[in-house]
């Protein structure tokens, strides 16, 4: 009960902060739209119109990952800069419980971008959103958001220790878009990439979203997505203590 | 990529952190390469254009990015450290002042573009005629030059509002869509391809694509001239705007408002 | 049992410098610090910038692991029982950092109340009490970004006291505050001790330490160079007399002549706008004024004051004798 309260309040506070930032808020919505627009133009030029919906669904999740990968690294750098990282570490609550809601709040911010992308596609490119399994679709979205948030959590654990790790988070933005099949079917990618795709929860989240919208059986995908998210979370929790100890030893919690 | 120009710059220490390989490799090598790969694969999925098309478009855009952000960032950083007032109080000429600070970053952009060209080309198995290498390098330099004008405009915005990052990123996104980086101009609605003709980058990319297909420099001379002319026009515009905003901020005392 | 016990604390930082050829540098910030703070005491850690005050505090509040040595807070080891320590301490540092600017004051407090496991039913009352204590009642709905420096600093104190910790660490809390704000803050600190809390305060304002602290440790270059009550420390220089001489344009040669004058225990030079102030410490009973003036032959001399030593003189003497 107490754990849930900490998670919920942490999420609410950080969601509030993120919503109030021009950078995370406005740009978070607009940025993926640039890529989505480019992709829509490209698919409209070359491919049959059915791929447009496929692309639109994938593109809508891009923003969730962007918000998480970019924010998970930069926001913690910001906490370090503003001196709050030390305060967060100095509380008696387990640091995993402090960090997890922060990254989940980040991926939740991505929901604005998701809605914006779908509407953008609908009104500017005439991509009709017809959903076959509405209930599963609505389930798949929070599951994807949560598992992406967990991936961000795992990523941010490393940022706590390494002051320069924020750059890594930024650099992860495009590779995951590509490898998880946001816009491109996995079958086009070289074979050796496939195990990497399978290990990444967004791959399964998008599959679940697509199958629930276009028809299919999203439940197995949903299951894998959640299991992976849980896996990242567990791994992160196990790593947190070690990482924090090391940060306290090497004095990287503050800027100076 | 974008937060590299933002998040990290929350800390002025990031200026020194650039040299750190843990920042350098992800920001300047992984990100551009994956932007190329991403669009090349979307192109394959959409059956649109060749891999070469995307390698050239995205690599050249990466040459433009630092030019867009460098000067604005310099200004935001100085504002944050509250040294901007001191700098502007000197009688130094403004253009050398800002360009001088931004120059290393632009050079960096050109290197990144060159790397993206070579590495992206190698990964996707693209060959470019040997004779086209030198002209392509020239195109990279020219494009970087012409995007500097947009950078000056961003800098002017930075003098006025605190965060240039949002503005710079929006410029980046607009160039991505409009300038034929990934979408052939004839696939864009008419008003967009018309706008593209008035933007930097468009002609540079087009010239680079023709060069890579074996055209001689004289064949793309018109495109290069257009790119240079547009670049000059934007630089004049950006410089004027910068002076106007500088004057305004002296009047309104917004220089050191952190 | 002492509330805070530090035993032979050491802390070394490793940094790298250089762009291409990276050199490893080791900086010994703290080199063997030991002290004890008793319950209900206000203990001051005094020292110049870079002396190791903040590093010492960060080891005590579990944010840094000592390179060697041990520290205990209320009997809990700061490395092994970090969580137990964290439950029982509050930490406040000076300056404007350490708050979420985009949240309201109340939200900042709510968030940390939860992280400090303040029972939900008590949170509201506790937050209201603290806002009242630091004089921010009525402003709690406003976002922190609009707060003045003093308001932020007071909010910071409220944040550090949310879980009613028996031990409070204050790292230069009055840094950058205007005189009125600093005085109000000192009153708040004094009231904490009256309320039974044990406080460790770092500062480099002498009068602040003199006015507030029960006991002081002076720290310089990572070591404690003097410890005791303010009057103990003053006793170090009690048998001395201080002459302050205002001079205009004294060169290094003249100053050096004064420094080596027989009977001069300490000489500090403070540069003011147009003048320098030489503070000469010497054993009481020795009438040095004439000979000092003789050394300054030819230099224009302004005001001359002979006075009893203050805590500041003791501090300067301790720090400069290193």
Instruction: Convert the pLDDT of each residue in C41-76 to its tens digit.
Output: 999 998 888 888 889 999 999 988 999 999 999 999
For chain C, helix, strand, coil in percent to 5 are 35, 30, 35
Q: What is the pLDDT of residue B28?
A: 74
How would residue C315 be classed by pLDDT, with cut points 50, 70 and 90? Answer: confident
Evaluate if residue B240 carries a pLDDT over 70: yes
Give A47 or A35, the one with higher predicted confidence: A35
Q: Of C64, C88, C127, C142, which to mutate for an interface test with A (greatest number of A Cβ within 10 Å)?
A: C64
Q: What is the DSSP secondary-structure string of C230-277? A: HHHHHHHTTTEEEEEEEEES--HHHHHHHHTSTT--EEEEEE-SS-EE
Q: What is the pLDDT of residue B6?
A: 37
Rg (CA), chain C: 23
Contacts of A13 in chain C (CB under 8 A): 100, 103, 107, 110-111
Q: Does A82 touch chain C (CB under 8 A)?
A: yes
* Spatial CA neighbour of C246 closest among C217, C288, C280: C280
User: How far A163 CA sits from the closest chain B CA (Å)?
Assistant: 10
Contacts of C57 in chain A (CB under 8 A): none
Q: Does A255 touch chain C (CB under 8 A)?
A: no
Evaluate if residue B8 carries a pLDDT over 60: no
- Rounded distance, CA C171 to CA C3, Å? 18
Nearest CA in chain A to B187: A45
Task: Report percent pLDDT > 90 for chain B.
Answer: 17
Q: Of A90, A95, A240, A252, which to mutate for an interface test with C (greatest number of C Cβ within 10 Å)?
A: A90
How would residue B93 be classed by pLDDT, with cut points 50, 70 and 90? Answer: low
Q: Express each pLDDT in A178-198 by its tens digit.
A: 999 998 888 889 989 999 999
Considering CB atoms only, which of A9, A21, A90 is closest to C102? A21
Q: Of A91, A99, A163, A242, which to mutate for an interface test with C (greatest number of C Cβ within 10 Å)?
A: A91
Q: What is the pLDDT of residue B151?
A: 83
β-pair type (C240-248, C276-283): antiparallel
Evaluate if residue C237 carries a pLDDT over 90: no
How would residue C266 be classed by pLDDT, with cut points 50, 70 and 90? Answer: confident
Q: What is the pLDDT of residue B82?
A: 62
Q: What is the pLDDT of residue C39?
A: 92
Q: Does A70 touch chain B (CB under 8 A)?
A: yes
- Rounded distance, CA A160 to CA A241, Å? 11
Q: What is the pLDDT of residue C71?
A: 94
User: How far A177 CA sits from the closest chain C CA (Å)?
Assistant: 30
Nearest CA in chain C to A89: C63
If contacts are CB pairs under 8 Å, which of residues 33-62 in chain B contact chain A?
34-35, 37-39, 41-49
Neighbours of A138 (CB within 10 A): 11
How would residue B242 be classed by pLDDT, with cut points 50, 70 and 90? Answer: confident
Give B79 or C98, the one with higher predicted confidence: C98
Q: What is the pLDDT of residue C159?
A: 92
Mean pLDDT, range A90-117, rounded to an integer:
88
Are B29 and B97 contacting, i.e. CB atoms less than 8 angstroms apart? Answer: no
| Lowest-confidence pick of B4-8, C163-167, C298-302 | B4-8
Are B109 and B1 contacting, i.e. CB atoms less than 8 angstroms apart? Answer: no
Are C212 and C44 contacting, i.e. CB atoms less than 8 angstroms apart? Answer: yes
Contacts of B20 in chain A (CB under 8 A): 164
If interface means Cβ-Cβ distance under 8 Å, which residues of chain C face chain A?
A: 13-14, 58, 61-65, 83, 86-87, 91, 93, 95, 97-103, 107, 110-112, 114-117, 120, 159
H-assigned helices in A90-133 = 95-125
Nearest CA in chain B to A32: B173
Does the model's pTM come out above 0.95? no
| Lowest-confidence pick of A144-148, A160-164, A219-223 | A160-164
Mean pLDDT, range B35-57, rounded to an integer:
90
Q: Does B161 touch chain A (CB under 8 A)?
A: no
Q: For chain C, what is the mean pLDDT?
A: 86
Q: Express each pLDDT in A185-239 by its tens digit.
A: 888 899 899 999 999 999 999 999 999 988 888 899 999 999 999 999 999 999 9
- Which residues have C-beta within 8 Å of that of residue C76, sequence separation ≥ 6? C84, C85, C88
Inter-chain residue contact A93 with C102, CB threshold 8 Å: no
Evaluate if residue B2 carries a pLDDT over 60: no
Considering CB atoms only, which of A74, A166, A170 is closest to B31? A170
Inter-chain residue contact A165 with B22, CB threshold 8 Å: yes
Inter-chain residue contact B22 with A81, CB threshold 8 Å: no
Residue B132 DSSP label: G
Q: What is the pLDDT of residue C4?
A: 93
For the CA atoms of A37, A41, A47, A53, what is the dihedral angle to 10 degrees?
30
Q: Does A195 touch chain C (CB under 8 A)?
A: no
- Rounded distance, CA A238 to CA A231, Å? 11
Q: Does A17 touch chain C (CB under 8 A)?
A: yes
Task: Beginning with the edge strand found earlier in the chain, give each strand of the sheet holding C300-307 in spatial order.
Answer: C266-271, C276-283, C240-248, C300-307
Q: What is the pLDDT of residue C91?
A: 92
Nearest CA in chain A to B50: A46
Q: Does A31 touch chain B (CB under 8 A)?
A: yes
How would residue B247 be classed by pLDDT, with cut points 50, 70 and 90? Answer: confident
Are A226 and A205 contacting, i.e. CB atoms less than 8 angstroms apart? Answer: no
Q: Does B10 touch chain A (CB under 8 A)?
A: yes
Inter-chain residue contact A170 with B2, CB threshold 8 Å: yes
Evaluate if residue B11 carries a pLDDT over 80: no
Contacts of B27 in chain A (CB under 8 A): 167, 170-171
- Which residues have C-beta within 8 Å of that of residue A231, sequence separation ≥ 6? none
Q: What is the pLDDT of residue A106?
A: 85
Evaluate if residue B7 carries a pLDDT over 50: no
Inter-chain residue contact A83 with C95, CB threshold 8 Å: yes
- Which residues have C-beta within 8 Å of that of residue A173, sequence separation ≥ 6? A65, A66, A69, A70, B1, B31
Cβ burial C15-24 (10 Å sphere, 16+ → b, else e): eeeeeeeeee
| Lowest-confidence pick of A150-159, C33-42, C121-130, C263-272 | C263-272
Evaluate if residue B256 carries a pLDDT over 60: no
- Rounded distance, CA C184 to CA B75, Å? 38
Q: Among A87-91, B26-30, B106-110, which range has the highest average pLDDT? A: A87-91
Inter-chain residue contact A178 with B27, CB threshold 8 Å: no
Evaluate if residue C135 carries a pLDDT over 80: yes
- Rounded distance, CA B57 to CA B120, Å? 11
Q: What is the pLDDT of residue C66?
A: 92
User: Residue C270: what are its φ and ψ, rounded to 5°?
Assistant: -115, 125
Mean pLDDT, range B163-168, rounded to an integer:
73
Contacts of A35 in chain B (CB under 8 A): 176
- Rounded distance, CA C231 to CA C25, Å? 40
Residue A193 DSSP label: G
User: How far B78 CA sits from the closest chain A CA (Å)?
Assistant: 17
Evaluate if residue A153 carries a pLDDT over 70: yes
């Amino acid at each position: 009960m107490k754990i849930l309260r900490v998670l919920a309040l942490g999420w609410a506070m950080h969601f509030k902060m993120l919503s109030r930032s021009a950078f995370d808020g406005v740009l978070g919505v607009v940025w993926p739209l640039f890529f989505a627009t480019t992709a829509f133009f490209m698919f409209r030029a070359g491919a049959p119109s059915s791929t447009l919906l496929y692309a639109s669904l994938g593109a809508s999740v891009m923003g969730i990952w962007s918000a998480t990968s970019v924010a998970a690294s930069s926001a913690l750098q910001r906490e370090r800069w503003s001196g709050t990282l030390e305060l967060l570490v100095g509380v008696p609550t387990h640091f995993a419980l402090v960090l997890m809601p922060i990254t989940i709040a980040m991926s939740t911010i991505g929901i604005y971008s998701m809605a914006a992308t779908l509407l953008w596609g609908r009104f500017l490119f005439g991509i009709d959103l017809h959903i076959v399994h509405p209930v599963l679709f609505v389930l798949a979205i929070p599951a994807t958001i949560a598992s992406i948030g967990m991936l961000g959590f795992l990523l941010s654990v490393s940022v706590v220790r390494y002051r320069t790790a924020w750059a890594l988070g930024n650099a992860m933005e495009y590779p995951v878009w590509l490898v998880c099949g946001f816009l491109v079917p996995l079958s086009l990618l070289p074979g050796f990439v496939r195990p990497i795709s399978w290990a990444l929860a967004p791959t399964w989240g998008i599959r679940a979203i697509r199958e629930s919208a276009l028809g299919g059986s999203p439940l197995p995908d949903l299951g894998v997505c959640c299991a992976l998210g849980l896996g990242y979370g567990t791994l992160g929790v196990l790593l947190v203590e070690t990482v924090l100890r090391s940060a306290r030893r090497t004095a990287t919690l503050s800027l100076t | 990529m974008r937060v590299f120009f933002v998040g990290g710059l929350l800390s002025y220490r990031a200026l020194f952190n650039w040299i750190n390989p843990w920042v350098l490799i992800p920001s300047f090598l992984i990100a551009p390469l994956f932007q190329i790969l991403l669009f090349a694969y979307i192109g394959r999925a959409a059956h649109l254009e060749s891999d070469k098309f995307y390698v050239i478009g995205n690599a050249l855009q990466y040459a433009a990015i630092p030019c867009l952000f460098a000067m604005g960032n310099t200004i935001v950083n100085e504002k944050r450290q509250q040294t901007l007032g001191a700098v502007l109080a000197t009688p130094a000429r403004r253009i050398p002042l800002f360009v001088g600070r931004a120059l290393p970053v632009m050079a960096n952009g050109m290197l990144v573009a060159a790397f993206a060209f070579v590495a992206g080309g190698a990964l996707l198995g693209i060959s470019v005629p040997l004779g086209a290498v030198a002209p392509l390098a020239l195109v990279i330099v020219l494009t970087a030059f012409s995007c500097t004008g947009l950078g000056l405009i961003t800098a002017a915005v930075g003098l006025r509002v605190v965060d240039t990052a949002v503005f710079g990123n929006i410029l980046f996104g607009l160039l991505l869509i409009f300038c034929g980086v990934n979408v052939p101009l004839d696939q864009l609605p008419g008003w967009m391809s018309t706008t593209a003709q008035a933007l930097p980058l468009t002609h540079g990319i087009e010239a680079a694509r023709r060069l890579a297909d074996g055209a001689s420099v004289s064949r793309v001379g018109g495109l290069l001239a257009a790119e240079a002319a547009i670049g000059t026009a934007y630089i004049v515009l950006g410089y004027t705007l910068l002076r106007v905003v500088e004057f305004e901020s002296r009047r309104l005392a917004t220089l050191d408002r952190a | 049992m002492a509330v805070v016990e530090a035993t032979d604390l050491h802390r070394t930082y490793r940094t790298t410098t250089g762009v291409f050829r990276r050199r490893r540098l080791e900086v010994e910030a703290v080199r063997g610090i030991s002290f004890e703070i008793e319950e209900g005491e206000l203990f001051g850690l005094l020292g110049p910038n870079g002396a190791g005050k903040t590093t010492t505090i960060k080891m005590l509040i579990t944010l840094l692991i000592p390179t060697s040595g041990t520290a205990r807070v209320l009997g809990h080891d700061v490395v092994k029982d970090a969580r137990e320590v964290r439950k029982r301490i509050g930490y406040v540092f000076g300056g404007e950092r350490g708050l979420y600017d985009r949240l309201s004051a109340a939200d900042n407090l709510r968030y940390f109340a939860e992280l400090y496991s303040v029972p939900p039913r008590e949170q509201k009352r506790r937050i209201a009490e603290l806002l009242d204590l630091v004089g921010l009642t009525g402003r709690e709905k406003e976002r922190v970004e609009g707060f003045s420096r003093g308001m932020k600093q007071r909010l910071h104190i409220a944040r550090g006291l949310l879980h009613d910790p028996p031990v409070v660490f204050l790292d230069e809390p009055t840094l950058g505050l205007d005189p009125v704000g600093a005085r109000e803050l000192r009153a708040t600190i004094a009231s904490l001790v009256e309320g039974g809390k044990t406080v460790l305060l770092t500062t480099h304002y002498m009068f602040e330490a003199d006015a507030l602290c029960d006991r002081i440790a002076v720290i310089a270059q990572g070591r404690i160079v003097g410890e005791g009550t303010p009057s103990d420390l003053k006793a170090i220089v009690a048998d001395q007399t201080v002459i302050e001489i205002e001079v205009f344009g004294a060169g290094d040669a003249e100053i050096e002549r004064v420094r080596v004058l027989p009977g001069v225990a300490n000489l500090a030079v403070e540069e003011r706008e147009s003048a320098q102030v030489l503070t000469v410490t010497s054993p009481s009973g020795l009438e040095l004024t004439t000979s000092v003036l003789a050394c300054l032959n030819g230099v224009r001399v302004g005001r001359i004051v002979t006075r009893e030593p203050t805590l500041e003189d003791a501090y300067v003497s301790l720090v400069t004798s290193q």
